[in-house]
Structure 1
Protein backbone atom coordinates (compact mmCIF):
# COMPACT_ATOMS: atom_id res chain seq x y z
CA UNK A 1 0.00 0.00 0.00
CA UNK A 2 2.85 2.41 0.73
CA UNK A 3 4.12 1.78 -2.81
CA UNK A 4 0.90 3.27 -4.18
CA UNK A 5 1.37 6.28 -1.90
CA UNK A 6 4.97 6.76 -3.13
CA UNK A 7 3.90 6.45 -6.76
CA UNK A 8 1.18 9.08 -6.26
CA UNK A 9 3.68 11.43 -4.61
CA UNK A 10 6.03 10.99 -7.56
CA UNK A 11 3.23 11.52 -10.13
CA UNK A 12 2.10 14.69 -8.37
CA UNK A 13 5.66 15.90 -7.73
CA UNK A 14 5.12 15.97 -3.95
CA UNK A 15 7.10 14.94 -0.89
CA UNK A 16 6.03 13.31 2.35
CA UNK A 17 6.54 16.64 4.07
CA UNK A 18 3.85 18.16 1.83
CA UNK A 19 1.41 15.49 3.00
CA UNK A 20 2.42 16.06 6.62
CA UNK A 21 1.86 19.81 6.40
CA UNK A 22 -1.46 19.51 4.57
CA UNK A 23 -3.00 16.71 6.62
CA UNK A 24 -1.45 17.14 10.06
CA UNK A 25 -0.28 13.53 10.04
CA UNK A 26 3.08 13.16 11.76
CA UNK A 27 6.09 12.41 9.58
CA UNK A 28 6.94 9.56 11.97
CA UNK A 29 3.63 7.94 11.01
CA UNK A 30 4.63 8.04 7.34
CA UNK A 31 8.10 6.69 8.18
CA UNK A 32 6.67 3.81 10.23
CA UNK A 33 4.24 3.11 7.40
CA UNK A 34 7.11 3.02 4.91
CA UNK A 35 9.08 0.59 7.10
CA UNK A 36 6.05 -1.66 7.52
CA UNK A 37 5.81 -1.15 11.28
CA UNK A 38 2.49 0.63 11.12
CA UNK A 39 -0.48 1.02 8.84
CA UNK A 40 -2.36 4.30 9.28
CA UNK A 41 -5.93 4.11 10.50
CA UNK A 42 -8.73 4.66 8.03
CA UNK A 43 -9.34 8.29 9.04
CA UNK A 44 -5.69 9.15 8.36
CA UNK A 45 -5.70 7.22 5.10
CA UNK A 46 -8.82 9.16 4.07
CA UNK A 47 -7.03 12.47 4.77
CA UNK A 48 -4.10 11.33 2.63
CA UNK A 49 -6.42 10.15 -0.15
CA UNK A 50 -8.32 13.45 -0.09
CA UNK A 51 -5.09 15.42 -0.23
CA UNK A 52 -3.84 13.35 -3.18
CA UNK A 53 -7.20 13.58 -4.96
CA UNK A 54 -7.85 9.84 -5.08
CA UNK A 55 -10.37 7.54 -3.45
CA UNK A 56 -9.54 5.64 -0.30
CA UNK A 57 -9.97 2.43 -2.27
CA UNK A 58 -7.40 3.54 -4.84
CA UNK A 59 -4.91 4.52 -2.14
CA UNK A 60 -5.23 1.17 -0.42
CA UNK A 61 -5.56 -1.18 -3.42
CA UNK A 62 -4.39 0.73 -6.48
CA UNK A 63 -7.73 0.07 -8.18
CA UNK A 64 -10.79 2.22 -8.57
CA UNK A 65 -14.16 0.73 -7.80
CA UNK A 66 -16.28 0.45 -10.91
CA UNK A 67 -19.04 3.04 -11.05
CA UNK A 68 -22.47 1.64 -10.23
CA UNK A 69 -25.62 3.59 -11.05
CA UNK A 70 -28.12 4.32 -8.29
CA UNK A 71 -31.84 4.94 -8.38
CA UNK A 72 -32.87 8.53 -7.69
CA UNK A 73 -36.00 9.69 -5.88
CA UNK A 74 -37.51 10.39 -9.28
CA UNK A 75 -36.73 6.82 -10.41
CA UNK A 76 -38.39 5.46 -7.25
CA UNK A 77 -41.46 7.64 -7.92
CA UNK A 78 -41.62 6.46 -11.55
CA UNK A 79 -41.41 2.82 -10.48
CA UNK A 80 -44.14 3.33 -7.88
CA UNK A 81 -46.39 5.02 -10.46
CA UNK A 82 -45.81 2.26 -13.00
CA UNK A 83 -46.63 -0.39 -10.39
CA UNK A 84 -49.76 1.48 -9.30
CA UNK A 85 -50.92 1.70 -12.92
CA UNK A 86 -50.29 -2.00 -13.47
CA UNK A 87 -52.00 -2.87 -10.17
CA UNK A 88 -55.09 -0.94 -11.28
CA UNK A 89 -55.10 -2.87 -14.55
CA UNK A 90 -54.87 -6.16 -12.68
CA UNK A 91 -57.82 -5.26 -10.45
CA UNK A 92 -60.21 -4.62 -13.36
CA UNK A 93 -62.51 -7.22 -14.84
CA UNK A 94 -60.25 -7.48 -17.87
CA UNK A 95 -57.14 -8.10 -15.73
CA UNK A 96 -54.79 -11.02 -16.23
CA UNK A 97 -56.34 -14.47 -16.23
CA UNK A 98 -54.77 -17.89 -16.08
CA UNK A 99 -56.56 -20.86 -17.57
CA UNK A 100 -59.76 -18.79 -17.87
CA UNK A 101 -59.78 -17.79 -14.19
CA UNK A 102 -58.80 -14.41 -12.75
CA UNK A 103 -55.61 -14.45 -10.72
CA UNK A 104 -55.99 -14.49 -6.96
CA UNK A 105 -54.46 -11.81 -4.70
CA UNK A 106 -51.30 -13.83 -3.98
CA UNK A 107 -50.55 -14.41 -7.68
CA UNK A 108 -51.15 -10.73 -8.44
CA UNK A 109 -48.69 -9.71 -5.70
CA UNK A 110 -46.10 -12.14 -7.11
CA UNK A 111 -46.50 -10.61 -10.56
CA UNK A 112 -46.20 -7.09 -9.14
CA UNK A 113 -43.03 -8.04 -7.26
CA UNK A 114 -41.52 -9.48 -10.45
CA UNK A 115 -42.45 -6.36 -12.41
CA UNK A 116 -40.87 -4.14 -9.74
CA UNK A 117 -37.61 -6.09 -9.97
CA UNK A 118 -37.74 -5.87 -13.77
CA UNK A 119 -38.36 -2.09 -13.66
CA UNK A 120 -35.46 -1.51 -11.26
CA UNK A 121 -33.12 -3.72 -13.27
CA UNK A 122 -34.06 -2.03 -16.55
CA UNK A 123 -33.55 1.49 -15.17
CA UNK A 124 -30.15 0.61 -13.67
CA UNK A 125 -29.04 -1.12 -16.88
CA UNK A 126 -30.04 1.92 -18.94
CA UNK A 127 -28.16 4.25 -16.58
CA UNK A 128 -25.07 2.06 -16.75
CA UNK A 129 -25.21 1.91 -20.53
CA UNK A 130 -26.13 5.49 -21.36
CA UNK A 131 -24.57 7.66 -18.62
CA UNK A 132 -21.57 9.49 -20.11
CA UNK A 133 -18.23 8.75 -18.41
CA UNK A 134 -17.80 12.35 -17.30
CA UNK A 135 -20.87 11.96 -15.02
CA UNK A 136 -19.80 8.64 -13.50
CA UNK A 137 -18.55 9.83 -10.12
Structure 2
Protein backbone atom coordinates (compact mmCIF):
# COMPACT_ATOMS: atom_id res chain seq x y z
CA UNK A 1 0.00 0.00 0.00
CA UNK A 2 1.43 3.38 -0.97
CA UNK A 3 1.88 6.37 1.31
CA UNK A 4 -1.12 8.17 -0.16
CA UNK A 5 -3.32 5.07 0.14
CA UNK A 6 -2.39 4.71 3.82
CA UNK A 7 -3.21 8.36 4.40
CA UNK A 8 -6.57 7.87 2.65
CA UNK A 9 -7.35 4.91 4.94
CA UNK A 10 -6.39 6.92 8.03
CA UNK A 11 -8.52 9.84 6.82
CA UNK A 12 -11.46 7.49 6.30
CA UNK A 13 -11.02 6.12 9.85
CA UNK A 14 -11.02 9.68 11.22
CA UNK A 15 -13.91 10.63 8.92
CA UNK A 16 -12.08 13.56 7.36
CA UNK A 17 -11.09 14.34 3.79
CA UNK A 18 -7.54 14.71 2.55
CA UNK A 19 -8.25 18.39 1.91
CA UNK A 20 -9.34 18.81 5.52
CA UNK A 21 -6.16 17.02 6.67
CA UNK A 22 -4.10 19.42 4.59
CA UNK A 23 -5.86 22.41 6.14
CA UNK A 24 -5.46 21.11 9.69
CA UNK A 25 -1.77 20.30 9.25
CA UNK A 26 -0.77 23.34 7.23
CA UNK A 27 0.21 21.34 4.16
CA UNK A 28 -0.55 23.16 0.93
CA UNK A 29 -3.74 22.30 -0.94
CA UNK A 30 -3.45 19.20 -3.15
CA UNK A 31 0.07 18.39 -1.97
CA UNK A 32 -0.68 15.00 -0.40
CA UNK A 33 -2.23 13.60 -3.59
CA UNK A 34 0.97 14.56 -5.45
CA UNK A 35 2.98 12.29 -3.15
CA UNK A 36 2.10 9.35 -5.43
CA UNK A 37 4.41 10.78 -8.10
CA UNK A 38 6.82 12.90 -6.04
CA UNK A 39 8.76 12.30 -2.86
CA UNK A 40 7.50 14.33 0.11
CA UNK A 41 9.82 15.94 2.61
CA UNK A 42 10.39 14.08 5.85
CA UNK A 43 9.00 17.03 7.79
CA UNK A 44 5.67 16.78 5.96
CA UNK A 45 5.42 13.01 6.48
CA UNK A 46 6.22 13.52 10.17
CA UNK A 47 3.45 16.13 10.46
CA UNK A 48 0.90 13.68 9.00
CA UNK A 49 2.20 10.86 11.23
CA UNK A 50 1.88 13.07 14.31
CA UNK A 51 -1.63 14.11 13.33
CA UNK A 52 -2.81 10.49 13.13
CA UNK A 53 -0.61 9.35 16.06
CA UNK A 54 1.12 6.73 13.92
CA UNK A 55 4.79 6.14 13.21
CA UNK A 56 6.50 7.45 10.10
CA UNK A 57 7.63 3.87 9.44
CA UNK A 58 3.98 2.80 9.32
CA UNK A 59 3.15 5.48 6.76
CA UNK A 60 6.13 4.52 4.64
CA UNK A 61 5.22 0.83 4.76
CA UNK A 62 8.24 -0.29 6.76
CA UNK A 63 6.12 -1.80 9.52
CA UNK A 64 2.55 -2.91 10.11
CA UNK A 65 2.54 -1.49 13.64
CA UNK A 66 0.78 1.88 13.68
CA UNK A 67 2.58 2.99 16.83
CA UNK A 68 5.93 2.00 18.26
CA UNK A 69 4.25 1.07 21.52
CA UNK A 70 1.68 -1.27 19.96
CA UNK A 71 1.95 -4.79 21.29
CA UNK A 72 3.77 -7.42 19.25
CA UNK A 73 3.04 -11.14 19.07
CA UNK A 74 5.82 -11.70 21.62
CA UNK A 75 4.20 -9.17 23.94
CA UNK A 76 0.89 -11.00 23.61
CA UNK A 77 2.56 -14.32 24.43
CA UNK A 78 4.25 -12.74 27.46
CA UNK A 79 0.91 -11.35 28.64
CA UNK A 80 -0.78 -14.73 28.30
CA UNK A 81 2.05 -16.44 30.21
CA UNK A 82 1.88 -13.86 32.99
CA UNK A 83 -1.91 -14.15 33.12
CA UNK A 84 -1.63 -17.93 33.39
CA UNK A 85 0.81 -17.57 36.29
CA UNK A 86 -1.63 -15.19 38.00
CA UNK A 87 -4.55 -17.58 37.50
CA UNK A 88 -2.56 -20.48 38.93
CA UNK A 89 -1.46 -18.36 41.87
CA UNK A 90 -5.01 -17.22 42.60
CA UNK A 91 -6.39 -20.75 42.30
CA UNK A 92 -3.86 -22.39 44.60
CA UNK A 93 -3.15 -19.69 47.16
CA UNK A 94 -6.71 -19.08 48.31
CA UNK A 95 -6.16 -15.31 48.24
CA UNK A 96 -8.99 -14.87 45.75
CA UNK A 97 -11.36 -17.13 47.64
CA UNK A 98 -15.06 -16.47 47.94
CA UNK A 99 -16.36 -17.55 51.37
CA UNK A 100 -13.40 -19.87 51.79
CA UNK A 101 -13.70 -21.39 48.29
CA UNK A 102 -11.11 -21.06 45.56
CA UNK A 103 -11.92 -19.79 42.09
CA UNK A 104 -12.47 -23.34 40.84
CA UNK A 105 -15.33 -24.00 43.29
CA UNK A 106 -17.65 -21.13 42.41
CA UNK A 107 -21.34 -20.97 41.53
CA UNK A 108 -22.57 -19.82 38.12
CA UNK A 109 -22.90 -16.17 39.20
CA UNK A 110 -19.50 -16.26 40.81
CA UNK A 111 -18.05 -17.77 37.64
CA UNK A 112 -19.18 -14.64 35.80
CA UNK A 113 -17.33 -12.60 38.41
CA UNK A 114 -14.29 -14.84 37.83
CA UNK A 115 -14.41 -14.16 34.09
CA UNK A 116 -14.68 -10.42 34.73
CA UNK A 117 -11.70 -10.62 37.07
CA UNK A 118 -9.64 -12.50 34.50
CA UNK A 119 -10.59 -10.06 31.75
CA UNK A 120 -9.67 -7.18 34.00
CA UNK A 121 -6.30 -8.74 34.79
CA UNK A 122 -5.60 -9.33 31.10
CA UNK A 123 -6.53 -5.76 30.17
CA UNK A 124 -4.41 -4.43 33.04
CA UNK A 125 -1.41 -6.43 31.82
CA UNK A 126 -1.90 -5.11 28.26
CA UNK A 127 -2.19 -1.52 29.48
CA UNK A 128 0.87 -1.85 31.71
CA UNK A 129 2.91 -3.27 28.84
CA UNK A 130 1.83 -0.43 26.51
CA UNK A 131 2.56 2.27 29.08
CA UNK A 132 5.98 0.74 29.77
CA UNK A 133 6.77 0.75 26.05
CA UNK A 134 5.72 4.39 25.74
CA UNK A 135 7.67 5.44 28.79
CA UNK A 136 10.85 3.42 28.43
CA UNK A 137 11.45 3.07 24.67
CA UNK A 138 14.43 5.25 23.78
CA UNK A 139 13.67 8.02 21.29
CA UNK A 140 15.99 6.55 18.67
CA UNK A 141 13.74 3.46 18.47
CA UNK A 142 10.42 5.32 18.22
**Residues 50-87 of structure 1 deviation map (CA, whole Å, 9 limit, x = unaligned):** 4322455726xxx8244641111111010010111222
Kindly report which structure 2 residues correspond to 1:43-62, keeping only aligned pairs within 5 A, or say none: 44-45=34-35, 48=38, 50-54=39-43, 56=45, 58=47
Where does the alignment leave 5 or more consecutive residues of structure 1 unmatched? 6-32, 34-38
**Residues 75-123 of structure 1 deviation map (CA, whole Å, 9 limit, x = unaligned):** 1010010111222233437362134343423222211111111111111
Partner of 1:21: none
Where does the alignment leave 5 or more consecutive residues of structure 2 unmatched? 1-21, 55-66
Aligned residue pair count:
99
Change beyond 3 A, Cα 1:55–1:107 = farther
Contact 1:90–1:108 under 8 Å retained in 2: no
Contact 1:45–1:56 under 8 Å retained in 2: no
Q: CA RMSD in A?
A: 3.2
**Residues 30-51 of structure 1 deviation map (CA, whole Å, 9 limit, x = unaligned):** xxx5xxxxx3674x34555x43
Change beyond 3 A, Cα 1:41–1:134 = closer
Q: In 2, distance between residues paired with 1:76 and 1:55?
A: 33
Partner of 1:64: 50
User: TM-score, length-normalised on structure 1?
Assistant: 0.54
Larger Rg: 1
Change beyond 3 A, Cα 1:73–1:112 = same
Q: In 1, distance between residues paired with 2:86 and 2:94?
A: 12
